[in-house]
Amino acid sequence: MFQNSCPSVLPHAWDSSGLGALRVGLIGTGVVGSGTCQVLERNAELIAQRAGRRIRLVMAAARNLHKAAQVVGPDVALVRDPWVLVRHPDIDVVVEVMGGVGLAKDLVLEAIAQGKHVVTANKALLAEHGAEIFAAADACGVVVAYEAAVAVSIPIIKALREGLAANRIHEVVGVVNGTSNFILSKMQDEGLDFAAALSLATALGYAEADPSFDVEGIDAAHKTALLAANAFGADVPFGQVHAQGITALDPYDMVCAQALGYRIKLMGIARQVADAIEVRVHPTLVPQSHWLAQVQGSMNGIWVNTDAAGPTFHYGAGAGSQTTASAVVADLMDVARCGAAGDAGRAALRVPHRSVKASAVRRWPVQPIGQVASRHYLRFEWVDDPALQAEWPRWLQAHGVEVQDMLQVPHTDQPHRKAWVALTSSVRGDDLTRALALLSQGTGGPAVAAIYRVEDLA
């Protein structure tokens, strides 16, 4: 069981302006927690000048108190039991960087019930339970801030909710998982297969011991759901977000895509179409000339297309202790400017949790991936039959799939291996699947070896 080592009263600190310092309780003193402590200490005076009051870490909860003491310093009270922290009357804001969903959700809801603001970097928590958490925060007049949950060094949540607030946002498309992007960069530039690129990412610290959330697209899907929520003022049910990872990607397809003028990226896509939204993550062909195709290594890049500002591009580091801490502390500074929890006057002026006031949040229908229309990349295994090669594009067109570009591409490392690759016109996924099934049945081939969507971004 956790044990409490908390003093009954925490020290009050006042800055020169006479305003009370914002008193912070930190749950989690690992990579992000330690970075947050370092930034708060190193830039304390600058932070106070910009926030209008001091921000003081007064308590931290951690399993290993000895290690935590080395992170937070001697003036911070330490507890093993995080419930003591979230219920302590002398804490104004709780920073949750412990990760996970179950316990984190319970602690965040309790902090809100206790009238405390919350800052979190937990994208899984908010993507899966954000509607409940934001409703609780609105009812209690407190803030849940989460800039660090998406593309940490890029202030994209602030950009969507504030900088672009006057705009109708049409789409948000981005490379939002640094681990997968590092792997794809190595596969593209060095010809590594997935296993070798993942091994390198692990050795360099870009991939976790269990990388499944990153390489299966789940992490990117969490972030894309939050981007969609803010872009469209929406409640996005996470279970309806399509997530496809990169584990099955063949480097040969990266060679073929390059021959067609594209690069393959794991993309998070949030787009408004008629009275629905698309929220999806999958490997995607992007034109080599587009900014997103230039996002290399563990970096992140996000493309936002709007009606008034037009397209904007946001680029920065997607992971790291200090980079994540930068976003956490920026959220703390916003909270410091908000005034007391429950202050009705200030609460009315606070930035909404999902870009629009709670009463205006909509539950847009999320289009099933099979109903989403886009251009597609197809790779067919080589069939040495000129008549069949001439026939299959006409067969596809007869079934509603127009082949717009077609190319024979030899394999770089295996000269005897070659394939036909094609780009289609825009077609719904379900319609393409039916047409390809009919092609196989009607002609006896060729077999489709790979299918990926194409995004020709303006």
Identify the CA nearest to 408 among candidates 263, 256, 288: 256
* Residue 68, C-beta contacts closer than 8 angstroms, at least 6 positions apart: 29, 60, 62, 78
Contact call for residues 161 and 351 (beta carbons, < 8 A):
yes
Going by DSSP bridges, is the β-strand pair 311-317/299-306 parallel, antiparallel, or unpaired?
antiparallel
Give the DSSP letter string of 282-333.
Answer: EEEEEETTSGGGG--TTEEEEEEEESSS-EEEEEEE---HHHHHHHHHHHHH
d(CA 197, CA 183): 5
Give the DSSP letter string of 210-265.
Answer: S-HHHHTTHHHHHHHHHHHHHHHTB---GGGSEE--STT--HHHHHHHHHTTEEEE
d(CA 225, CA 217): 12
Identify the CA nearest to 281 among candidates 176, 361, 424: 176
Contact call for residues 57 and 26 (beta carbons, < 8 A):
yes
Size of the chain, expressed as the number of residues it contains = 458
Contact call for residues 25 and 72 (beta carbons, < 8 A):
no
What single DSSP character describes residue 52?
A: S
Identify the CA nearest to 222 among candidates 125, 288, 118, 86: 125
Percent of the chain that is helix, strand, coil (3-state, to 5): 40, 25, 35
Catalytic site positions: 223
Q: Which residue has the tokens 């977000």?
A: 241
